[in-house]
């Protein structure tokens, strides 16, 4: 794909959008400043690193992404995934940790950009939505359990979700009252604002209130942990200093992170596009996401992803274009340069409360209930991914989620779903009998259609399903017609199964016919001997043609409607090939006369 010198939204910008975009940008900044600082700590780096991360991510996504409302910046899910990857390589709190976080962002960025340029935007389709729901739910619980000790004013422990939960329960008696009051009050205030004044940036209100309370009541002296000195300024671009031996692990971590970030992003991006009636491009989204991560890493930040809550706020504030992201980036830069001194007395329980409320949106309980109600299988997939994250670490949970997703794809692709077809009364259309039981069939002739493309994974299953359908026929069969409409292309194992199916049916004195065979498949069918085995005269363009041919060969009366429909289809193809408008018109009239329901 070719990168555009000027994004479409800039070239076609409408000045009437300016006020709404500026207001939306201020709203986004008001949310990102407190949430970004909180997510920085989730990622295992200092709060001020959020100011290095957010501006370049916003600017680069605005320039290279395709969504007009999506916000790509600090993300809770990506922050905890980053912490898991980097924490497995270097010690937390060290300079190396910061460098490796930046390097991880850059590797994820490079991978995402390359995937976009190679037009691999369809990779997100291999993540089952159900599995992703469970995985993100699990991430949200892991993030939350790490913030609870800050609200309680107790030491945080290590281990999986359940080990941390048990440690919290054991130390409830050690909770600091002042910290609990500050943390719980912050949560309650945010929930009330979101409930009764959802246009107000609740996180910003609580952040300002926490700073005021920390200053007036000198909460640090009361035993409440506060943020402390936050260096002002921005980081200069630099390549992170990492060990050459760790590059391979960082590349793998970057691949994982890029896949999860994209899978998490593509859904909301499409929803916004559908709502506002424009198109997004999956490949361009990969480039935008990758550029944002590259910028964040280059400016010594940490990995980024789509911020779902902030994106919703951006849309709710009336954003019409990515200009809102540029406005937000400018505001964050101003805060980083001139206002960080005001953050020193911000209580840590308040920051933890901001994370807990923000991350609660990722705990998709209604969606889990919906899966339970509609499909226990999909619920089980989601629950498996969720349990994997809670019991093991994040990477292990992700591995389980990926394996389950791919396993689901393979299982569904390898299953043989076969429909028996009949002619719809009054037309030449052949439809599934399961959905149209009134459809007409021909004694001695079975027409079946695989509902999935035929290839190596399901070829044997389709062959067996056709044999079973033939054996289950209530009348002796003269021929079986296999409709290959769903098969756009076919591989050698698929062809071999077709040839073997011919032999299976020949032993029962049943002929095999093929219909709806794509022209792109003819060469491989010929090379593998399928055409010779079936016979050129038993390969048809339509089901109607097969019915007419087999009925005449077996001495049965051809279905007149099917014959008429087939003749009409043939004339239609001829009419399409003709340039002479008058001749084409006469053929079209002839087709109308052949329609089964014509007067």
Q: What is the DSSP letter of 228?
A: -
Report the DSSP beta bridge partners of residue 347. Answer: 226
* End-to-end Cα separation, the chain, in angstroms: 53
279-299 pLDDT, tens digit each? 888 899 999 999 999 999 999
CA–CA gap between residue 421 and residue 432 (Å, rounded): 4
Q: Residue 377 has what pLDDT?
A: 82
Q: Residue 275 has what pLDDT?
A: 86
pLDDT higher than threshold 70 for residue 572 = no
pLDDT higher than threshold 70 for residue 427 = yes
Q: Give percent of the chain above pLDDT 70.
A: 90
Kindly report the average pLDDT of the chain as a whole number: 87
Average of pLDDT values for 77-94?
89
Domains of the chain by start residue, with CATH: 15-152+250-340+362-410 (no CATH), 418-594 (3.30.750.24)
Please identify which residue in the block is written with the tokens 């943020």. 227
Q: Give percent of the chain above pLDDT 90.
A: 53
CA–CA gap between residue 329 and residue 29 (Å, rounded): 7
pLDDT higher than threshold 60 for residue 569 = no
Question: DSSP letters of 392-444?
Answer: S-HHHHHHHHHHHHHHHHHHHHHS--EEEEEEPTTSS-EEETTT-TT-B--TT
358-408 pLDDT, tens digit each? 878 778 889 999 999 998 888 988 898 899 889 987 777 777 777 877 777
447-496 pLDDT, tens digit each? 999 988 888 888 999 999 999 999 999 889 999 999 999 898 899 999 99
Average of pLDDT values for 571-578?
53
Q: Residue 585 has what pLDDT?
A: 60
**Does residue 200 or residue 533 have the better pLDDT?**
533
C-alpha distances (whole Å) from 23 to each of 30, 103, 129, 458 are: 11, 34, 33, 54
pLDDT higher than threshold 50 for residue 599 = no
247-258 pLDDT, tens digit each? 999 999 999 899
The band of 566, judged by pLDDT with boundaries at 50, 70 and 90, is low
Question: Do 3 and 64 contact (CB within 8 A), yes or no?
Answer: yes
pTM of this prediction?
0.71
Average of pLDDT values for 81-103?
92
Average of pLDDT values for 552-581?
54
Q: Residue 598 has what pLDDT?
A: 43
Average of pLDDT values for 100-127?
88
């Amino acid at each position: 794909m070719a990168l555009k010198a000027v994004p479409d939204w800039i070239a076609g910008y409408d000045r009437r959008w300016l006020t709404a975009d500026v207001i939306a940008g201020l709203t986004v900044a008001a949310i990102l400043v407190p949430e970004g600082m909180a997510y920085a700590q989730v990622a295992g780096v200092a709060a001020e690193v959020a100011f290095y991360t957010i501006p370049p991510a916003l600017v680069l996504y605005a320039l290279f992404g395709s969504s007009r409302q999506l916000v790509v910046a600090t993300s809770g899910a990506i922050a905890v995934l980053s912490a898991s990857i980097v924490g497995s390589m270097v010690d937390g709190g060290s300079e190396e940790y910061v460098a490796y976080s930046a390097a991880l962002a850059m590797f994820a960025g490079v991978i995402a950009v390359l995937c976009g340029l190679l037009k691999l935007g369809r990779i997100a389709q291999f993540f089952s939505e159900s599995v992703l729901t469970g995985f993100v739910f699990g991430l949200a619980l892991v993030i939350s359990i790490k913030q609870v000790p800050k609200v309680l004013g107790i030491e945080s422990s290590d281990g999986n979700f359940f080990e941390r939960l048990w440690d919290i329960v054991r130390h409830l008696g050690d909770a600091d009252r002042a910290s609990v009051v500050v943390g719980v009050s912050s949560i309650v205030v945010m929930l009330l604002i979101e409930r009764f004044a959802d246009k107000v940036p609740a996180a910003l209100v609580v952040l300002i209130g926490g700073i005021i309370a920390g200053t007036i009541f000198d909460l640090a002296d009361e035993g409440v942990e506060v943020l402390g000195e936050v260096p002002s300024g921005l980081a200069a671009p630099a390549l992170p200093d990492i060990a050459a031996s760790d590059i391979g692990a960082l590349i793998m971590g970057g691949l994982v992170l890029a896949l999860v970030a994209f899978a998490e992003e593509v859904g909301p991006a499409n929803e916004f596009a559908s709502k506002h009636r424009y198109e997004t491009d999956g490949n361009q989204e990969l480039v935008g996401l990758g550029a944002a991560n590259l910028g964040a890493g280059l400016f010594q930040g940490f990995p980024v992803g789509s911020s779902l809550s902030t994106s919703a706020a951006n849309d709710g504030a009336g954003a019409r274009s990515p200009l809102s992201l540029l406005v937000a980036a400018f505001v964050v830069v101003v805060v980083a340069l001139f206002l960080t001194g005001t953050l020193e007395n911000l209580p840590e329980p308040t920051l933890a409360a901001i994370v807990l409320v923000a991350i609660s949106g990722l705990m998709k309980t209604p969606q889990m209930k919906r899966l339970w109600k509609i499909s226990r299988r999909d619920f089980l997939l989601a629950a498996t991914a969720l349990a994997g994250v809670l019991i093991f670490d994040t990477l292990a949970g992700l591995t389980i989620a990926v394996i389950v997703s791919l396993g689901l794809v393979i299982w569904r692709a390898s299953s043989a779903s076969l429909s028996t077809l009949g002619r719809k009364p009054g037309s030449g259309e052949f439809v599934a009998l399961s959905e149209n039981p009134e459809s007409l069939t021909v004694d001695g002739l079975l027409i079946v259609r695989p509902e999935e493309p035929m290839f190596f994974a399901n070829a044997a299953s389709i062959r067996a399903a056709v044999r079973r359908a033939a054996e289950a026929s209530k009348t002796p069969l003269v021929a079986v017609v296999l409709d290959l409409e769903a098969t756009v292309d076919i591989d050698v194992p698929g062809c071999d199964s077709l040839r073997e199916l011919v032999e299976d049916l020949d032993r029962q004195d049943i002929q095999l016919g093929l219909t709806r065979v794509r022209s792109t498949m003819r060469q491989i069918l010929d090379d593998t001997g399928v055409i010779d085995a079936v016979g050129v005269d038993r390969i048809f363009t339509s089901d109607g043609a097969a019915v007419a041919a087999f009925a005449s060969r077996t001495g049965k009366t051809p279905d007149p409607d099917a014959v008429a429909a087939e003749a009409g289809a043939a004339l239609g193809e001829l009419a399409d090939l003709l340039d002479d408008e008058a001749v084409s018109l006469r053929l079209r009239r002839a087709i109308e006369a052949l329609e089964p329901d014509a007067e």
